[in-house]
């Protein structure tokens, strides 16, 4: 086993250590995780099964009840570690590698948007504003059949993925979602320095 994956054999120890070694928030987002970052993400995920605060640094809600979850590489790995720990299964090095292949170098957003009919989000277009630049999404998945909520409105789960190579990991970005008529339907400001 190489140096990169040697720590996976220590997962039982890491469960114990997770309670003693915290992961400090606010270290700034990383779009390509080092071995140390990966260890911290796995520990954070394992530790999260006994806390209720997991994911708070990556979640936002606007005034109309629309929500945003920022899926950084760290968050995605911590979430996978959390899910594996709940199932009492070890997160294998090959699982970590596959996960990082899909998420490194990218910034993904899971957004729950609200509208008046089932297909309201079908033609929504996201843009990420970072300083003076506008970044177009490399992947857009708008839910076409939103679920009706108790108040009669509909909630659509959407996924937007952006390339991260030109983003400042300690900067602010603004996710703007517009409808087919170029009207703004959602806007979230995200401080990347406040998350991992």
Per-residue pLDDT of the chain (196 residues; tens, 9 = 90+): 444 443 334 333 333 333 333 334 446 788 888 889 998 888 888 888 777 777 788 999 988 889 999 999 998 998 889 888 888 888 888 888 888 888 889 999 999 999 999 999 999 999 999 999 999 999 999 999 999 999 999 999 999 999 999 899 999 999 999 999 999 999 999 999 998 8
Note the pLDDT of residue 185.
Answer: 96
- The 3-class SS string of the chain reads CCCCCHHHHHHHHHHHHHHHCCCCCCCCCCCCCCHHHHHHHHHHHHHHHHCCCCCHHHEEECCCCCEEEEECHHHHHHHHHHHHHHCCCCCCHHHHHHHHHHHCCEEEEEEEEEECCCCCCCCCEEEEEECCEEEECCEEECCCCCEECCCCCEEEEEEEEEECCCCCCCCEEEEEEECCCCCEEEEEEEEHHHCC
Report the CATH architecture of 6-194.
Sandwich (2.60)
């Amino acid at each position: 086993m190489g140096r990169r994956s040697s720590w996976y054999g220590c997962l039982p120890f890491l469960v114990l250590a997770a309670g003693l070694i915290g992961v400090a928030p606010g270290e700034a987002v990383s779009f390509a995780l080092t071995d140390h970052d990966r260890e911290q993400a796995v520990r954070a995920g394992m530790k999260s099964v006994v806390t209720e605060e997991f994911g708070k640094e990556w979640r936002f809600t606007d005034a109309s009840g629309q929500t945003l979850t920022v899926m950084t590489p760290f968050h995605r790995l911590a979430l996978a570690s959390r899910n594996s720990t709940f199932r009492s299964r070890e997160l294998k090095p090959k699982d970590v590698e596959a996960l990082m292949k899909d998420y490194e170098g990218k910034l993904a957003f899971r957004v729950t948007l609200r509208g008046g009919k089932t297909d309201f989000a079908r033609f929504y277009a996201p843009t990420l504003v970072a300083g003076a630049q506008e970044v177009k999404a490399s992947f857009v998945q708008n839910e076409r059949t939103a679920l009706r909520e108790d108040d009669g409105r509909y909630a659509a789960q959407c996924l937007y993925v952006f390339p991260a190579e030109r983003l400042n990991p300690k900067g602010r970005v603004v996710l703007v979602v517009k409808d087919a008529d170029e009207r703004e339907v959602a806007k979230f400001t995200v401080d990347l320095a406040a998350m991992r």
